[in-house]
Amino acid sequence: MKVTLRWYGSENDNISLNQIKQIPGVTGVVGTILDIPVGEVWELNRILRLKKEVESYGLKLEVIESVNVHEDIKLGLTTRDKYIENYKETLKNLSTLGIKVVCYNFMPVFDWFRTDLSKELPDGSTVFSYKEEIFEKIDKDNIFKEMLEKFDGFNMPGWEEERLNKIKGLYTEYKNVNEEKLWENLEYFLKEIIPVAEELDTKMAIHPDDPPWSIFGLPRIIKSKKDLERLISLVDSKYNGIVLCSGSLGANRDNNIPELIRYFGKKGRIHFAHVRNIKFHKGRNFDESSHKTEDGSLDMYEIMKAYYDIGFDGYIRPDHGRMIWGEKTKPGYGLYDRALGVAYLNGLWGAINKEGKEKSKCIQI
Ligand SMILES: [Mn+2]
């Protein structure tokens, strides 16, 4: 596996590449360019600038998270073709500069949702949290301003001002898009994009819906094994793959993460792994937690063992971290707890790997 860390670029991240390269085992960053409006082409020189900067620290830039899909594509509007052509152009430019995996999602309006971005745990750390009782009371037209204030001035992907300004109109537009219609629109997009990705040798990886259920009456379709199975069959190509995000899918207790890793990993469709833990509370409520198994509800050993058993050699990153040690940065994307996450995942992997080698030695004897 190739261990990476998400980095938002020097203008949008107060964590430096110098700090990232000092985390043991991290060989690359998962990059993005936040100032290009969704739907526009990522120009070659803009990507090149990012790549050169990352590489000047001895790190690789081979995964982009995300090239977002324009809302018109998800809505299936006639204007989608223009944005799909732009998307293909972006893929070509990224491929020219050695990008191997492109992450995207097909969630209407929001990429992710929590009811609290800084819930305090008993140890004083703060985490993302989801509580159904709070969710039900949310005024969906006005939550966004409140959420932006919670970000404390940090620009959060998925919550761009440009997107938030259009929110009320989008609710109305999605009234005509049910889940089946959204599937149709995804199929239309993939039938255009995957042949191009094949030619470019760029693996497309869809991020599951987070949380994995419908919110605010909007359709959501990438929530379970059944959905992922349907996704990969829309276009049967290894370039049509997934980001297996343990925390997103794991929020639904019916999703067995190690089983999903083995199932889709054996089919060669996991191109990018997001690994984090979450702690279940009653009903659908959950908090994000440190990566350590005992701090949450997911068994991280079983997750890493599943990756080991499928011979996973793709990109992996720790996912959100808690805010600890007084760090002030984007919620979920601090340096300290994600670095601890990397260390923990590396520890598990190292032990599993060594044990695996010893076993195969015994078999040879
Ligand atoms: Mn994720």
Q: Concatenate the DSSP letters of all residues of 60-128 into one string.
A: EEEEEE--PPPHHHHHT-TTHHHHHHHHHHHHHHHHHTT--EEEE---SS-SB--SEEEEEPTTS-EEE
Report how far ligand 1's centroid is from the alpha carbon of 43 (Å): 26
Confidence of residue 118 (pLDDT cuts 50, 70, 90): confident
Q: Is the pLDDT of residue 11 over 70?
A: yes
Q: What is the mean pLDDT of residues 170-176?
A: 86
Domains in the chain: boundaries: 2-364
Q: What is the pLDDT of residue 147?
A: 63
Q: How far apart are CA 343 and CA 63, in angstroms?
A: 21
**Distance of CA 318 from the midpoint of ligand 1 (Å):** 9
pLDDT number for residue 102: 98
Does residue 340 register a pLDDT over 80? Answer: yes
This prediction's pTM: 0.93
How remote is the CA of residue 113 from the centroid of ligand 1, in Å? 12
Determine the average pLDDT of the residues in 321-333. 92
How much distance in Å is there from the Cα of 321 to the middle of ligand 1? 11
* Closest-CA residue to 3 (of 312, 242, 290): 312
What pLDDT, in 10s, does the model give residues 18-39? 999 999 999 999 999 999 999 9
Q: Confidence band (pLDDT; 50, 70, 90) for 346?
A: very high
Residues 319-342: what's their mean pLDDT? Answer: 94
Q: How far away, in angstroms, is 274 Cα from ligand 1 center?
A: 5
Q: Which residues contact 115 (CB under 8 A, 6 or more apart)?
A: 129, 130, 131, 134, 135, 138
Confidence of residue 160 (pLDDT cuts 50, 70, 90): low
Instruction: Please report the pLDDT score of residue 158 as a whole number.
Output: 66
Q: Is the pLDDT of residue 154 over 70?
A: no
Hey, is 330 helix, strand or coil?
Answer: coil
Token match 């995300």: residue? 66
Residue predicted with more confidence, 365 or 92: 92
Model pLDDT, residue 321: 93
Looking at residues 108-126, what average pLDDT do you find? 89
CATH superfamily, region 2-364:
Divalent-metal-dependent TIM barrel enzymes (3.20.20.150)
Residue 162 clears pLDDT 70, i.e. is over it: no
Residue 363, SS3 per DSSP: helix
Contact by Cβ (8 Å): 117, 332: yes
Q: How far is the CA of 365 from the centre of ligand 1 (A)?
A: 42
pLDDT given at position 144: 62
Mean of the pLDDT values across residues 100-121? 90
3-state helix, strand, coil in the chain (%, to 5): 45, 15, 40
pLDDT at 325 over 80: yes
Q: Are 244 and 270 in contact, with CB atoms under 8 Å apart?
A: yes
The catalytic residues are 207, 245, 274, 319-320, 333
User: Of all residues in the chain, what percent carry a pLDDT higher than 90?
Assistant: 79
Share of the chain above pLDDT 70, in %: 92
Given a cut of 70, whether residue 148 has pLDDT beyond it is no
The distance from CA 238 to its chain's CA centroid, rounded to whole angstroms, is 19
Q: What is the pLDDT of residue 359?
A: 82
* Distance from Cα 22 to the centre of ligand 1, integer Å: 23
Looking at per-residue pLDDT, the higher value among 182 and 215 belongs to 182
Average pLDDT, whole number, for the chain?
92
Provide the 10 A C-beta neighbour count for residue 350.
Answer: 12
State in Å: Cα 243 to ligand 1 middle: 8
